[in-house]
Amino acid sequence: MFSFRNPISRAFATLALLLAVFAVLFPFVWVFMESIKPASLGGRPDLWVFSPTWENWNEVTLNSDVPFNILNSFAIALVTVLISLLCGAPAAYAFSRFRGFESARYSILAAEMMPPAILILPFFLVLYHLKLIDSQIGVIAAHLTFVLPVVTWFLIGFFDEVPRDLENQAMIDGYTRFQAFYKVILPAVRPGLGAAGVFGFVLSWNDLFYALLLTGNESRTLPVAIAGYWTFRGVELGKMAVAILIAVIPVLALSHSIQKHLIRGIGGGAVKY
């Protein structure tokens, strides 16, 4: 492969890369600065030197609904992911192993790509008639529409990589196919289950659209709460910055841990590298 042997082009390349890193980091740095700015100085763009304060953090964590919103987001994402893994793992295994599922495989991908605009109307109406607007159950059902296909699709690629000899051997040893699946194959794809679970969790945690329309005071999730810090007046900006950081930091930490599995998952066995 060619490389940047010429020191000048190498310098330019390094500069371009650093510029990209800066462009990514800058908003995060800014939002952290806003979160520790005293409320009276919020929204002063020229201000980088000030005495930092934790008043926004205290206000948001001790004196607002945000902890409750975090709890809602967390519970909804967790239940959604558990259901998705429970139903998605056996199906992904079947898609990977049995003949006759080729088109079913791609209908999973189609489901994953379905625009929420077409699903939200029936969801809203059904939940409205069931008196389940503003309940976690409705949001979980709605989040299943994208987390379940993603998790299933994600796992197909991981099952594809487990050699068939593994379950053949287990079945020779007297396991039924199903026993072979959950005693031998599932443990072998544990990293995949973890990565798919984390990815699905992040998708549910980050959703605004469904949560905005299906939740209320009793079930509001963190993204909807963030959208509620609306005005651009001193105090609110600092609090919004805190809420944003609270939403973003755990997700960044989680995603970092699954980085190396992401490609196999997103490819879903369809992209061969």
Partner 1 sequence: MQLKYKFILPLALLLSAVMLYPLAFSGWLAFHEYRLTRLDDVHFVGFENFVLIATDPSFLNAMGNTLIFVLGAVSLELVIGLSLALLLQKLNILRNFSRSILLAPMFVTPIAVGLMFRFLLNAELGVIPHYLSKIGITVDWFGPDLALFSLILIDVWQWTPFMLLMFLAGLEALPKTPYEAARVDGAGPWLTFSRITLPMLRSVIVVALIIRALDAFKVFEYVFAITRGGPGNSTETIMYYIYQTGFRFFRMGEAAAAAIMLITVILVLVVLLVKFSQAEEARK
Site for partner 1 in 88-147 (CB under 8 A): 88, 90-91, 93-95, 97-98, 100-101, 104, 111, 113-126, 141-142, 144-145
Is 180 a residue that touches partner 1 (CB under 8 A)? no
CB of 55 to partner 1, least distance (A): 19
**Helices marked H in 36-135:** 55-62, 66-97, 102-113, 116-129
For CA atoms 34, 40, 44, 47, the dihedral sign is negative
Is 152 a residue that touches partner 1 (CB under 8 A)? yes
Is 183 a residue that touches partner 1 (CB under 8 A)? no
- Residue/partner pairs of 106-109 with CB below 8 Å, 24 or more apart: 108/149, 108/152, 108/153, 108/156, 109/149, 109/153, 109/268, 109/270
Is 177 a residue that touches partner 1 (CB under 8 A)? yes
Counts for the chain of helices (H) and strands (E), in that order: 13, 0
**Site map 194..233 versus partner 1, x via CB under 8 A:** --------x--xx-xx--xx--------xx--xx-x--x-
Whole-number Å distance between alpha carbons of 130 and 119: 17
Which of the ranges 29-37, 55-63, 167-175, 189-197 carries the binding residues for partner 1, by CB under 8 A?
29-37
Residue with tokens 């259901």: 83
Q: Which of residues 239-258 bind partner 1 (CB under 8 A)?
A: 240, 244, 247-248, 251-252, 255-256
3-class DSSP state of 64? coil
- Give how far the C-alpha of residue 166 lies from the chain's centroid of Cα atoms, to the nearest Å: 32
Which residue's CB is nearer to partner 1, number 36 or number 111? 111
**Site map 44..73 versus partner 1, x via CB under 8 A:** xxx---------------------------
Which residue's CB is nearer to partner 1, number 60 or number 226? 226
Instruction: Transcribe 217-267 into DSSP letters.
Output: TTT--HHHHHHH----SHHHHHHHHHHHHHHHHHHHHHHHHHHHHHHHHHH
Structure token digits, residue 164: 């068939």
Which residue's CB is nearer to partner 1, number 56 or number 152? 152
**Site map 6..25 versus partner 1, x via CB under 8 A:** ----x--xx-xx--xx-xxx
Which residue's CB is nearer to partner 1, number 16 or number 172? 16
Is 74 a residue that touches partner 1 (CB under 8 A)? no
Whole-number Å distance between alpha carbons of 175 and 183: 9
Q: Which of residues 155-174 bind partner 1 (CB under 8 A)?
A: none
Which of the ranges 54-62, 148-156, 164-172, 185-193 carries the binding residues for partner 1, by CB under 8 A?
148-156
How many residues form the binding site for partner 1 (CB under 8 A)?
Answer: 92
CB of 173 to partner 1, least distance (A): 18
Structure token digits, residue 33: 């600065």
Whole-number Å distance between alpha carbons of 204 and 213: 15
